Amino acid sequence: MRAATPVPASGCECGRRRQQIIAPLVTRHGKLWSNFWGALSPDGYFARYEDYVDIVQGNRVGIWNVPYMANVYLIKGKTLRSEMNERNYFVRDKLDPDMALCRNAREMDWKEKYINHDYSKIFTENIVEQPCPDVFWFPIFSEKACDELVEEMEHYGQWSGGKHHDSRISGGYENVPTDDIHMKQIDLENVWLHFIREFIAPVTLKVFAGYYTKGFALLNFVVKYSPDRQRSLRPHHDASTFTINIALNNVGEIFR
């Protein structure tokens, strides 16, 4: 076997880039076998990466983000003692240990970027506030998640205008309209439903004892309030089992 990237050099680069897990390229002499996959198929297994052969044969040298690596890798000690200390990252369904680690680590990276760092305290320190009966405040998104979701919506730009007649919904009429964009319109519906199941459902189970939700919602959208379009929303009944309302801006900066 040969290592195309010396481990010490990789370790230095890892520190500079603040990566938590890295791996050197290891191949079998004269063969295209290696310890990484450049891409995954829709079912989560091997798919040929465009530059895979050039990388394995040493024609391209560099540092890449890859979905799967095995056999040889470095994990930061701090990561092992913190995030990866909570559960066994080498176990996942029927996957082999290396694949389980990679899949679990990818999800951990997503959570690190987009879920508020205090989210786990909902369950460990009971930080949920209750300003009035059946209303609960708790941290859920990071600022990065809020900013990027707003950016996606502004980039799409097709705000509904807050009209009663709305062809996007069943029946075509909205009783209490908002100036909004649906998650379906920017192809985030499935991602949002996954978010509800993974991060909102456990909170509902905690605050509404004995209640279980499948984490499914028919209407998922972002509302835009502005002085020249929609300034406020009148009191109304959502006709829902529970409502998720997430402020994407900082109070005092963009709104009061």
- Per-residue pLDDT reduced to its tens digit, 32-61: 889 888 887 777 777 878 888 898 888 988
Q: Count Cβ neighbours within 10 Å for each residue of 160-177 and write b for 16 or more, e otherwise.
A: bebeeebeeeeeeebeeb
Please, are residues 221 and 119 in contact by the beta-carbon 8 Å criterion? no
Q: Count Cβ neighbours within 10 Å for each residue of 25-54 and write b for 16 or more, e otherwise.
A: bbbeeeeeebbbbbebeeeeeeeebeebee
Please, are residues 165 and 158 in contact by the beta-carbon 8 Å criterion? no
Instruction: Give 81-122 pLDDT, tens digit per residue.
Output: 877 777 788 888 888 888 888 888 887 778 888 999 899 899
pTM for the model:
0.65
Can you list the residues of the chain whose pLDDT is less than 50?
A: 1-10
DSSP letter string, the chain: -EESS-HHHHHHHHHHHT-SEE---EE-TTSS-BSEESEE-TTSSEE--TTHHHHHTTSS-S----SEE-S--EE-HHHHHTGGGSS-TT--TT--HHHHHHHHHHHHHHHHHHB-TTTTHHHHT---EEEETTEEE---B-HHHHHHHHHHHHHH-----S-SB-TTSTTSB-SS--SEEEGGGGT-HHHHHHHIIIIIHHHHHHHSTT-------S--EEE---TTS----------SS-------S-BTTTB-
Please, are residues 46 and 13 in contact by the beta-carbon 8 Å criterion? no
pLDDT at 16: 54
Domain ranges of the chain: 2-81, 121-223
Phi, psi (rounded to 5 degrees) for 3: -100, 115
pLDDT at 1: 43
